[in-house]
A and B are shown apart, each in its own frame.
Chain A
Amino acid sequence: MNIFDPLVLARLQFAFTVSFHIIFPAFSIGLASYLAVLNGLYLLTKKPVFMDLFNYWKKIFAVAFGMGVVSGIVMSYQFGTNWSVFSDKVGPVLGPLMGYEVLSAFFLEAGFLGVMLFGRERVGPKLHFFATLMVAFGTFFSAFWILSVNSWMQTPAGYAINANGQFIATDWWAVVFNPSFPYRLVHMVLAAYLTTAFVVGAVGALHLLRDRSNQAARIMFSMAMWMAAIVAPIQIVAGDFHGLNTLEHQPAKVMAMEGHYDSHPDGAPLILFGIPNPAEKRIDYAIQIPKLSSLILKHDLNAPLAGLDTIPFDRQPPVAIVFWSFRIMIAIGFAMLGLGIWSLWLRFSGRLYDTPLMHRAAILLGPSGFVAVLAGWITTEVGRQPYTVYGLLTTAESVSPIAAAAVGASLVAFLVVYFALFGAGTFYILRLMNKAPQPHEPGLDPDEPIRAGGIMPAPAMDAAGARQAAE
């Protein structure tokens, strides 16, 4: 791989900008739902601690959402600047789906975010709860369209190709609900929930270590551990279904994930660990369980499984990256499950809030969801190579005709700017998390202006209210 190849640089740039971007939505999708749950629990129980928690996480949500907005603007131009041929060819099919994403995100930003962040006193608790629900729904809707776009690139359906070589839609329903979309949507939304749950759990654990009587910390830790215990196993099952779907539509990706260079006519082993050796086309030092891979993928110990030797070399994904990223994701998934089971055991023996070792483990796993999300996306995106539209359009054909120097210079600029600015943003988020949640937790500082949330009706109403009061 030549680092001065414009194709490699363009891929690195897209990988970098989209990886940075996905961190914020993955967190805000989950956090939006968590805020809706907290708001609902407060309305139901009238316990002030739920409103304290709502105000605590709302401040963190505002910063994360703002960073998602600015890194998202970049994404809507990456396709054109670096992948112009791809844009021309897939625009008629994927453009409208992206258009719906932009419209729904716009609608959300313009509409309900401001009410959620600032408007509780103005619009009353019921409408405020409704706004919070709409924000949660809006982030989900954004994810819906973006995942539909990505899934279509993995498993294209409902299309034809016109005289200009462009993909055109013949059946919108088939385009949107393409074969891998339902699996990817479920897997990603669950991943966002788990990611948020582990961040919430880690923050709860941190404040329990400092003061195990902190009521708000106890509640957030307990809620997060319920999520770990319930959602982690569901996610593992959902991931398994997603894998079976991938085997059906993109077998080469599964071969790379499994490290199966060779075909196994009578039962393939499950390789737990090993070091891929691309030159010799084998896994060195493999620790493997015979026939288990066939059992998992085909539900039959002796089912034959084809290997990468059945795929022409120039149509194979890079094995090492996919092999490792897949194992990192799986390892984190099972670590999450382990923490969930541990929490159940402690909960039923009454020691959930009194086991510092467990709290330390929860802090350690706090950022694990982000790592798992990135590892999962690397698995599915690198595993799709050498195609952008699977089986139909190669990555090499998709790239803009741009000189390496231009792509390289912009990549360096993105690297420097993202690490500096989003590093600062992450620092501010961590500082907010480092403060313990208090009874009567304040909302956003009323002396600060409103920043991240689009067009705010709340200040507008405040201004109008103040004017009426003055008259």
Chain B
Amino acid sequence: MTLDLPFIWAGLIAFAVLAYVILDGFDLGVGILFPFVKGERNRDEMMNSVAPVWDGNETWLVLGGGGLFAVFPLAYAIIMPALYAPIIIMLLGLIFRGVAFEFRWKTRRGQFLWDWAFAGGSIIAAFAQGVALGALVQGIPVANRAYAGGWWDWLTPFSVLTGIALVIGYTLLGSTWLIWRTENHVQRRAYDIAAWAAPATLILIGIVSAWTPFLNVIYQQRWFGWPQILLVIPVPLLVMLTSYIIIKGLIERREASPFLASLFLFVLCFVGLGISFYPHIVPNSVTIWDAAAPDNSLLFLLVGASVLLPIIIAYTVYSYWVFRGKVGAKSAYH
């Protein structure tokens, strides 16, 4: 039996991207919420809740980008120029919010500047990621192993909608994270914000999901063709069940269940995307086997990845586990 290395790597890259989206999603969400919570002490508390983990979270983005280059160079070479503007804008947003973690504590006079850098960078990065996702879903023209579209193709009503949807979705993740990890004023604000972010996210998921099949006939077949509809029908059913758990948790003032259910909602959306895309990596034009580097390249990196990735994951899980519990404004680690 031979290993289907492109398939294995597609799974690993998908895992890295999913890990990035749900992990950085909640800490970007905390940044998005910064303007909605007043008081430096409260903001200290919010930032402290994600400070120990944000950089590890963002490293999954490097792993996704670097991994794509390593194992699916053709896809990397097509997608990056196609999404040129949103990718660059996302990177600039991430730089702003990344340095804010460090610099906000180095100055008192300029602290408000870094508050704005943190919030603005988070919102811009989230919106650009959503736009990039929408542009990818709506399809990328390819000719001769290269992107063959124009420089503004990424900007469409659909991609703007997905951009807004992701900002709102990250807001839901961020607010439910804060519900789980903070107390008193910040937690009460987080409940207020989650109360509208949750329904808004669900409505936007509904609109995007309803729109997607009309973008491309292949998506329609994936979702409505017989008999695979039997395989995909659990996804929308689970979305409904998860939505119910989120709303119920918020109404009953539960602390952990809204966040965990919101995470699961993102996982379901990601699975939905996977159903639409597979087996393509660039929708409708390049499959994972077309884009894959030769097997010896995939194997060479897989050796290292299969040793290091489990250690990294175990370590990440362990850190989150022992770091559970409420965060005070000044009690991050003493």
Given known A69-B98, A111-B315, A421-B99, contact A102–B74 (CB-CB < 8 A): no
Residue B213 is within 8 A (CB to CB) of chain A in the complex: no
Most chain B CB inside 10 Å of its own CB: which residue of A85, A450, A462: A450
Q: Mark A443-471, 1 if CB is under 8 A from B, else 0.
A: 00111111111111111111110110000
How far is A319 from B5 in the complex, measured between Cα atoms in Å?
Answer: 46
Contact B94–A73 (Cβ < 8 Å): yes
Q: Mark B50-94, 1 if CB is under 8 A from A, else 0.
A: 011101101101110111111111101111110011011001101
> B22 to chain A: closest CB distance in Å?
15
How far is A66 from B87 in the complex, measured between Cα atoms in Å?
Answer: 21
Contact of A455 among B91, B294, B316, B332 (CB under 8 A): B316
Give the contact stretch, choosing among B223-231, B234-242, B318-326.
Answer: B318-326
Contact A451–B51 (Cβ < 8 Å): yes
Q: Which residues of A contact B301 (CB under 8 A)?
A: 95-96, 99-100
Contact of B73 among A63, A166, A172, A467 (CB under 8 A): A166
Q: Which residues of A contact B275 (CB under 8 A)?
A: none
Residue A244 is within 8 A (CB to CB) of chain B in the complex: no
- Cβ-closest chain B residue relative to A172: B300
- Cβ-closest chain B residue relative to A86: B77
How far is A449 from B47 in the complex, measured between Cα atoms in Å?
Answer: 8
Contact of A84 among B63, B107, B146 (CB under 8 A): B146
Contact A454–B56 (Cβ < 8 Å): yes
> A23 to chain B: closest CB distance in Å?
15
Contact A401–B147 (Cβ < 8 Å): yes
- CB contact list, B98-128 vs A, under 8 A: 98-99, 101-103, 105-107, 117
How far is A449 from B316 in the complex, measured between Cα atoms in Å?
Answer: 18
How far is A455 from B315 in the complex, measured between Cα atoms in Å?
Answer: 9
How far is A418 from B226 in the complex, measured between Cα atoms in Å?
Answer: 53
Residue A174 is within 8 A (CB to CB) of chain B in the complex: no
Sample of 9 more A-B contacts, CB < 8 Å, known A70-B99, A96-B70, A111-B315? A66-B98, A72-B62, A74-B91, A87-B80, A96-B71, A169-B300, A425-B103, A450-B333, A456-B52
Q: Report whether over half of chain B's contact residues are helix, strand or loop; otherwise say mixed.
A: helix
Residue A76 is within 8 A (CB to CB) of chain B in the complex: yes
Given known A77-B65, A400-B81, contact A168–B297 (CB-CB < 8 A): yes
Residue B276 is within 8 A (CB to CB) of chain A in the complex: no
Q: Mark B284-327, 1 if CB is under 8 A from A, else 0.
A: 00000000011011001100110011011001101100111100
Residue B145 is within 8 A (CB to CB) of chain A in the complex: yes
How far is A104 from B305 in the complex, measured between Cα atoms in Å?
Answer: 10
Give the contact stretch, choosing among A37-45, A48-56, A300-308, A406-414.
Answer: A406-414
Q: Which residues of A contact B95 (CB under 8 A)?
A: 70-71, 73-74, 417, 421
Given known A77-B87, A81-B84, A110-B312, contact A421–B96 (CB-CB < 8 A): yes
How far is A81 from B89 in the complex, measured between Cα atoms in Å?
Answer: 12
Q: Mark A87-109, 1 if CB is under 8 A from B, else 0.
A: 11111110110111111111101
How far is A104 from B79 in the complex, measured between Cα atoms in Å?
Answer: 26
How far is A207 from B19 in the complex, measured between Cα atoms in Å?
Answer: 47
Residue B243 is within 8 A (CB to CB) of chain A in the complex: no
Residue A272 is within 8 A (CB to CB) of chain B in the complex: no
- Cβ-closest chain A residue relative to B93: A417
> A22 to chain B: closest CB distance in Å?
16
> A21 to chain B: closest CB distance in Å?
11
Contact A445–B333 (Cβ < 8 Å): no
Residue B151 is within 8 A (CB to CB) of chain A in the complex: yes
